[in-house]
Amino acid sequence: MSVMGPAADHYPHPHLLGIEGLTPGEITLILDRAQHYAEKNRSADKTSNILAGATVVNLFYENSTRTLTSFELAAKRLGADVINMTVGTSSVKKGETLIDTAMTLNAMNPDALVVRHADSGAVKLLSEKVNCAVLNAGDGRHEHPTQALLDALTIRRHKGRLHRLNVAICGDIAHSRVARSNILLLNTMGSRVRLVAPPTLIPSKIDRMGVEIFHDMEEGLKDCDIVMMLRLQLERMEGSFIPSVREYFHFHGLDRAKLANAKPDALIMHPGPMNRGVEIDSEVADDVERSVIREQVEMGVAVRMAALELLVQNHRKMGGQA
């Protein structure tokens, strides 16, 4: 199926902290399992009891409706008990540190912790202090592995492969954990990644991650198989990265005219939530022929089911010692 070889026979890591360190076989394993759930999720019989008795805690330090809902649904469809903790600022304001919170939750013996945090490396730090499986649901601008996996599954379903594709990741690379995880995954699987953004949104030395850099969107999209747009994260920006939203859309927003440079069957992707009229024009975002943005959301649940299943089962096998 893939030139990158067959799926691994098991997932050997205690956690899913990032795409970095995963082999092509391990990625394929997760995707194959996710594909199974994608089909199941479209059937009448969506649920199973594969994780019955397991406790999954969603610990979110940043507001996120879609990722939290996706993880919650994934865990419930597998029969696990789910607790959502949107920490936001409440415990932080009371002075409780990340590690204190982790220790407190750990004492309740969960099987998996799904963590989102605004600081890069925070999820890794937390994983060192608990003895359950930890899933990174996004840490700062570092990684967001389940997003890259759901993007990969969506691509694979349409293109039939993950190698030898030209993928353009466009927009706010500097503040994006999605971009980093996707670069790592697509490079691992044998595709070529280009980054298209104004120079202020390209982080220093990112070319060393094996990507080509374009500032001109029309040039960057030329002959692309996939156009992956990123959300402009105005809330993370300190200082002037772009002069105005209007100017940004003019040069770097995806519209019909710029899209015409990509291959005729190029897919349009976006991790959501979209800023319509900022990085993407509604006309292309809602194009049923090209846009797979809604399917990405659907694949999100399937990928998270696969990841939770593999990790919780690992955790159980290891006798509760992650």
Partner 1 sequence: MSPAIRAKGAGKKAFINARLIDPVAQTDGMGGLLIQDDTIAKAGAEVTKDTVPEGFEIIDLGGACLAPGLVDMRAQLREPGFEHQETIETAGKSAAIGGVTTIIALPNTDPVIDDVAGVEFIARRARKVGLAKVFVYGAVSKGIEGKEITEMGLLHQAGAVAFCDGVKTIASARLLRQALSYSTFFDGMIVQHPEEPELSKGASMNSGELATRLGLSGVSPLAEVMQIERDLRLAEMTGGRLHFAHISTGESVEVIRKAKKRGLKVTCDTAPPYFALNENSVSDYRTFAKLSPPLRSEDDRQAIVAGLADGTIDAIASDHNPQDADSKRLPFAQAAAGAVGFETLLPISLELYHNGHMSLLDVITKLTRVPADLVRIKGAGTLAEGTAADLVVFDPDRPWKIDPYQFHSKSKNSPFDGRLTQGRVLRTLIDGREVFTEGS
Of the candidate residues 15, 33, 77, 177, the single one contacting partner 1 (CB under 8 A): 177
State the minimum distance, in angstroms, from the CB of residue 224 to partner 1.
Answer: 23
Question: Closer CB to partner 1, residue 96 or residue 295?
Answer: 96
Edge-to-edge, what's the strand order for the sheet holding 166-170?
A: 212-214, 192-196, 166-170, 226-229, 267-269
State the minimum distance, in angstroms, from the CB of residue 238 to partner 1.
Answer: 6
If binding means CB under 8 A, how many residues of this protein chain bind partner 1?
26
The answer to whether 231 contacts partner 1 (rule: CB under 8 A) is no
Distance CA 240, CA 242 (A): 5
**Which range touches partner 1 (CB under 8 A), out of 1-9, 74-82, 116-124, 263-271?**
116-124
Interface pattern 134-153 for partner 1 (x via CB under 8 A): -----xxxxx----------
The answer to whether 124 contacts partner 1 (rule: CB under 8 A) is yes
Of the candidate residues 98, 113, 312, 322, the single one contacting partner 1 (CB under 8 A): 98
Distance CA 98, CA 117 (A): 10
Distance CA 170, CA 72 (A): 29
**Which range touches partner 1 (CB under 8 A), out of 24-32, 76-84, 113-121, 290-298?**
113-121
Q: What is the DSSP letter of 162?
A: S
Distance CA 314, CA 321 (A): 9
The answer to whether 91 contacts partner 1 (rule: CB under 8 A) is no
Q: Are 61 and 87 in contact (CB under 8 A)?
A: yes
Cβ-proximal residues to 95 (8 Å cutoff; 6+ apart), any chain: none
Q: How many Cβ atoms are within 10 Å of 278's Cβ, its own excluded?
A: 19
State the minimum distance, in angstroms, from the CB of residue 207 to partner 1.
Answer: 9
Cα of 288 vs its chain's centroid, Å: 22
Cα of 150 vs its chain's centroid, Å: 7
Q: Are 148 and 184 in contact (CB under 8 A)?
A: yes
State the minimum distance, in angstroms, from the CB of residue 167 to partner 1.
Answer: 18
Point out which residues bind partner 1 (CB under 8 A). Answer: 20, 97-99, 117, 119-122, 124-125, 139-143, 177, 180, 203-206, 208-209, 238-239
